Amino acid sequence: MTYNIALLKGDGIGPEIVDSATRVLEAVGKKYGHVFNFTPYLIGGSAIDATGMPLPEETVKGCLASDSVLLGAVGGPKWDTLPGNQRPEKALLGIRAAMELFTNLRPAKLYPALKGECPLREDIVENGFDIMIVRELTGGIYFGERGMRQGQYGEEAYDTECYSRMEIERIAKVAYETARKRRGNLISIDKANVLESSRLWRKIVHEMEKDYPDVVCKDMLVDNAAMQLVRNPAQFDVIVTSNMFGDILSDEASQITGSIGMLPSASLGNTSRGLYEPIHGSAPDIAGKNIANPIATILSGAMMLLYSFDLKAESDAIVNAVDKVLAAGYRTADLAHGGEYLTTTEITDKIIENI
């Protein structure tokens, strides 16, 4: 098969880590008989420098015409003084909206070889953990009615959380199907003891249970979930939650893995075309030095193979290669704590050797 992938390298370490991911994808293509055609488009600060805009029309068109999109990261001090709507980061919201991506998948996995990176006590993470957070991305309080007004005690500001049946059903469907492909456990996180929108969320999530007899679905209140993530992260398989709760909990979950350079993500919509990117930023402090950890971007490529192209064996080949390289003791600078480390290029070569 031939797949056309739009590359949004972006700024800072973006070009280095995207180049690593494309080399790994090419190695997978060679082994399994697929052709990946990569077309680069400008985004973020580099797009501002070249065109005056963080998200040129040509980039949007290119992404919409592709089979899937791989993004590095955007932003850097050079563009920090620009007004909010002209900043590189504005392009991220723009491309997600243009591609109508309503699901954000964020895995948080603690690799046995990297247990020492986890800030939690050793006995809590003895067996590691592997969580997939399914976050609703285009609804809820971040997109609800908002405003300012004069109230009895001076000025007031308000934001509204509103979820429709359609929005809840489509995200719950992704969550059930994700759980089905993993360990079959789904925890839906809400605040149904207080919020009306959460009560509708909970009702609809459970209405859909009958279509997924192979998945066990339970509810958890968001305050309890925040505690449980640090008390016993291994109890979670798939989490589904609203935009704001997912925003907060996915950052908490990423921190307990202790390694920001390792975590991929996927944003999906109604088509197989997705946007895949590491969760970290453009790391301007280490850009151009060939020391960035490319694994989050390489694993984003693995997520693309699974979620956009349904190539499970090929995706697993990347994940297993990363596992092997870490288990063999190879580390990038961010994980080496002053000890010996491999450069971005060298760790990529090691991963390719293990494909």
Catalytic residues: 142, 191, 223, 247, 251
DSSP 252-305: HHHHHHT-GGG-EEEEE-SSS-EEEEESS---GGGTTTT-S--HHHHHHHHHHH
Closest listed residue to residue 247, CA positions, set 189, 332, 180: 189
Tell me the closest approach of the beta carbon of residue 283 to ligand NAD, in angstroms. Answer: 4
326 binds ligand NAD (CB under 6 A): no
Backbone angles phi, psi at 250, to 5 degrees: -70, -30
95 binds ligand NAD (CB under 6 A): no
Closest listed residue to residue 230, CA positions, set 122, 124, 113, 134: 124
43 binds ligand NAD (CB under 6 A): no
Tell me which stretch binds ligand NAD (CB under 6 A): 132-140, 198-206, 240-248, 288-296.
288-296
75 binds ligand NAD (CB under 6 A): yes
49 binds ligand NAD (CB under 6 A): no
261 binds ligand NAD (CB under 6 A): yes
Backbone angles phi, psi at 22, to 5 degrees: -70, -35
Please check whether residue 283 is in contact with residue 292, taking contact to mean a CB–CB distance below 8 angstroms.
yes
Q: Report in angstroms the alpha-carbon separations of 147 from 25, 53, 283, 340.
A: 46, 28, 35, 53
Nearer to ligand NAD, 164 or 290 (CB): 290
Q: Report in angstroms the alpha-carbon separations of 152 from 148, 155, 156, 160, 253.
A: 13, 8, 9, 20, 40
Nearer to ligand NAD, 99 or 283 (CB): 283
Measured distance CA(133)–CA(253) in Å, rounded? 9
Tell me the closest approach of the beta carbon of residue 325 to ligand NAD, in angstroms. Answer: 15
90 binds ligand NAD (CB under 6 A): no
Nearer to ligand NAD, 286 or 355 (CB): 286
282 binds ligand NAD (CB under 6 A): yes
Tell me which stretch binds ligand NAD (CB under 6 A): 162-170, 289-297, 307-315, 322-330.
289-297
Start-to-end Cα distance in the chain: 19
Tell me the closest approach of the beta carbon of residue 8 to ligand NAD, in angstroms. Answer: 9
Which helix (H) or strand (E) segment holds residue 133: the answer is: strand 129-136
Tell me the closest approach of the beta carbon of residue 331 to ligand NAD, in angstroms. Answer: 11
Please check whether residue 73 is in contact with residue 283, taking contact to mean a CB–CB distance below 8 angstroms.
yes
Tell me which stretch binds ligand NAD (CB under 6 A): 67-75, 122-130, 169-177, 197-205.
67-75
Backbone angles phi, psi at 156, to 5 degrees: -130, 150
Helices and strands of the chain, counted as H and E runs: 12, 12
Binds ligand NAD by CB under 6 A, chosen from 293, 300, 308, 315: 293
Q: Which letter does DSSP use for residue 176 in this model?
A: H
Backbone angles phi, psi at 57, to 5 degrees: -55, -40
Given the DSSP bridges, would you call strands 238-241 and 129-136 parallel, antiparallel or unpaired? parallel
Nearer to ligand NAD, 223 or 285 (CB): 285
92 binds ligand NAD (CB under 6 A): yes
286 binds ligand NAD (CB under 6 A): yes
Tell me which stretch binds ligand NAD (CB under 6 A): 52-60, 182-190, 215-223, 282-290.
282-290
Binds ligand NAD by CB under 6 A, chosen from 29, 54, 281, 301: 281
292 binds ligand NAD (CB under 6 A): yes
Binds ligand NAD by CB under 6 A, chosen from 27, 73, 322, 347: 73
User: In the complex, which residues of this chain contact ligand NAD (CB under 6 A)?
Assistant: 13, 73-76, 89, 92, 260-261, 277, 280-286, 292-293, 296, 334
